[in-house]
């Protein structure tokens, strides 16, 4: 999926703020990318607690290196490399092997490694992940057509608000409102998941 | 947290929020945990929609990172330390200085060439014209400048300087010239006395004295 150009420009604007000393801008970048980074790290370390530690370390490394970031590449591309290196270093430190999702079941060592790592996944974490995915998909299906189209064009197609407005033949302000209402409707369902016992809403930050 | 602010948050996530609104929202994010939670979930929704696989919900990453960087020293980048306008002004000033030096060098070379040409013509004129009686310093040399010993002949060359003046000027300012100019001018004076007119001028001045 190609990152939308507008989102990249927004990231660069946040990066420039951080480079001027605005730490809250970095907080926003962490909130925005923590799930993706965690997902990335879990390719190497499946234990959720350990993966969160590594993701945290990657973000702190990124913060320390950010003064030297010139913006030649997208911020997430740069962050991606830092996260990968941090995860690899953690693996080396713990003398474990990285695990690919594309497992060759004929390869006994990989099967063994996969089995060992799978043991570290907690049932709660797996259940929460499944529930989140199911809830989001159901909430999307339940949206009115105009809201669903707006958020799909944004999140899946990566279109700018202006392009979505042209596609949907409506003002940009309407696009902005529709995308927000779509997110809010999905978020309402999502909060019920966390409030329902699989996790507490306050935990998800 | 109002819907208006949450709509700003949604727009911010898409990189579509104007700069001024972004600044205000960031300040609000700093102190509003509920808003931070909403941003995290909006981001999670996008990740799930893009089918990034089994997206895990990061529970404590943002809070822990925020706490950690709060203890970090402020890191200001060298890329943004200098305001763009100042940097531009400094660049322009540097260019202006460089251009002035280059222009000055071109003028100097042109002047030296013109002077050389003027001196050559003066020497040629003296060689061709028959010797004449010295004239007093009060004589009106404008009538026949080519015959004057103390006032070298004028030439048609634009901006030409009389050889005597040139020689005096060069000697007087020799000490202030750069090493490169000293070398080239000094070499010119030493190797081509005829062209500078120095050899001819000295006896002429002597003859003029009673």
CA B95 to each of CA A45, B89, B102: distance values in angstroms, whole numbers, following the listed order: 55, 10, 10
d(CA B28, CA A25): 11
Question: Which residue on chain A is closest to B20 by alpha carbon?
Answer: A13
Query: For chains A and B, what is the number of CB pairs under 8 angstroms?
Result: 219
d(CA B182, CA B175): 8
Contact call for A187 and B22, based on CB within 8 A: no
Q: Mean pLDDT in each 10-residue stretch from start to end of chain A (205 residues)? A: 60 91 92 90 84 94 93 90 92 67 43 42 74 90 93 90 93 97 94 67 49
CA A125 to each of CA A37, A87, B56: distance values in angstroms, whole numbers, following the listed order: 16, 20, 8
Residues of chain A found within 8 Å of residue B61, distances taken between Cβ atoms: 30, 34, 37-38, 52, 55-56, 59
CA B198 to each of CA A153, B119, B204: distance values in angstroms, whole numbers, following the listed order: 87, 10, 10
pLDDT tens for each residue of A84-109: 999 989 888 876 555 554 444 444 44
User: What distance in Å separates residue B5's CA from the closest CA in chain A?
Assistant: 10
Residues of chain A found within 8 Å of residue B12, distances taken between Cβ atoms: 10, 28
What is the structure's pLDDT at A59? 96
Please name the residue that has the structure tokens 């070298």.
B152
d(CA B9, CA A203): 20
Respond yes or no on whether ipTM tops 0.95. no
pTM above threshold 0.95: no
* A contact test, residue of B27, B57, B72, B73 with most A CBs within 10 A: B57
Angle CA A84–A90–A91, to nearest 5? 90
Return the closest-CA partner of residue A33 out of B35, B31, B42, B30. B42
d(CA B57, CA A34): 9
d(CA A122, CA A107): 25
Residue A4: DSSP 8-state: P
d(CA B46, CA A4): 12
Phi (first) and psi of residue B29, to 5 degrees = -60, -35
Residues of chain B found within 8 Å of residue A186, distances taken between Cβ atoms: 45
pLDDT in single tens digits along all 210 residues of chain B: 789 999 999 999 999 999 889 999 999 998 898 999 999 999 989 988 887 656 666 667 888 998 898 888 876 666 665 445 555 556 666 666 667 777 677 777 677 666 666 655 654 555 444 444 443 444 343 444 443 344 444 445 555 555 555 555 555 555 555 555 555 555 554 444 443 333 333 333 333 333
Contact call for A10 and B79, based on CB within 8 A: no
What is the structure's pLDDT at A27? 93
Residues of chain A found within 8 Å of residue B33, distances taken between Cβ atoms: 202, 205
What is the structure's pLDDT at A92? 85
Burial class (CB in 10 A: 0-12, 13-18, 19+), B163: buried
What is the structure's pLDDT at A168? 92
Q: Contact at 8 Å (CB) between A171 and B65? A: no
Structure tokens at B128: 């061709």
């Amino acid at each position: 999926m190609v990152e939308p150009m507008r989102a990249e420009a927004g990231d660069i604007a946040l990066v420039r703020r951080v480079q001027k000393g605005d730490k809250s801008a970095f907080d926003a970048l962490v909130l925005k990318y923590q799930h993706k980074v965690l997902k990335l790290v879990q390719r190497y370390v499946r234990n959720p607690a350990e993966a969160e530690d590594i993701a945290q370390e990657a973000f702190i490394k990124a913060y320390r290196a950010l003064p030297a970031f010139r913006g030649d590449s997208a911020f997430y591309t740069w962050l991606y490399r830092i996260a990968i290196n941090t995860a690899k270093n953690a693996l080396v430190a713990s003398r474990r092997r990285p695990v690919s999702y594309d497992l060759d079941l004929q390869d006994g060592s990989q099967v063994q490694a996969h089995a060992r790592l799978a043991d570290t996944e907690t049932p709660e974490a797996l259940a929460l992940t499944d529930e989140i995915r199911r809830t989001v998909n159901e909430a999307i299906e339940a949206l009115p057509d105009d809201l669903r189209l707006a958020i799909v064009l944004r999140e899946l197609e990566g279109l700018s608000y202006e392009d979505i407005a042209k596609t949907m033949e409506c003002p940009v302000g309407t696009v902005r409102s529709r995308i927000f209402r779509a997110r809010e409707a999905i978020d309402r369902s999502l909060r019920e998941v966390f409030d329902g016992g699989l996790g507490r809403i306050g935990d998800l930050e | 947290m109002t819907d208006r602010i949450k709509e700003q948050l949604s727009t911010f996530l898409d990189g579509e929020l104007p700069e001024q609104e972004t600044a205000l929202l960031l300040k609000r994010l700093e102190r509003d945990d509920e808003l931070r939670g909403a941003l995290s979930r909006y981001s999670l929704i996008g990740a799930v929609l893009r089918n990034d696989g089994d997206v895990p919900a990061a529970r404590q990453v943002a809070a822990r990172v925020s706490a950690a960087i709060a203890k970090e020293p402020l890191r200001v980048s060298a890329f943004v330390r200098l305001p763009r306008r100042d940097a531009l002004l400094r660049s322009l000033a540097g260019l202006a200085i460089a251009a002035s030096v280059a222009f000055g060098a071109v003028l100097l070379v042109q002047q030296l060439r013109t002077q050389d040409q003027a001196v050559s013509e003066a020497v040629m004129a003296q060689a061709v014209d028959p010797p004449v009686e010295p004239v007093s310093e009060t004589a009106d040399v404008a009538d026949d400048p080519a015959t004057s010993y103390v006032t070298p002949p004028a030439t048609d060359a634009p901006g030409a300087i009389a050889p005597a003046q040139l020689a005096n000027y060069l000697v007087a300012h020799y000490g202030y010239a750069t090493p490169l100019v000293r070398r080239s001018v000094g070499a010119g004076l030493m190797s081509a006395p005829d062209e500078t007119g120095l050899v001819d001028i000295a006896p002429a001045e002597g003859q003029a004295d009673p």
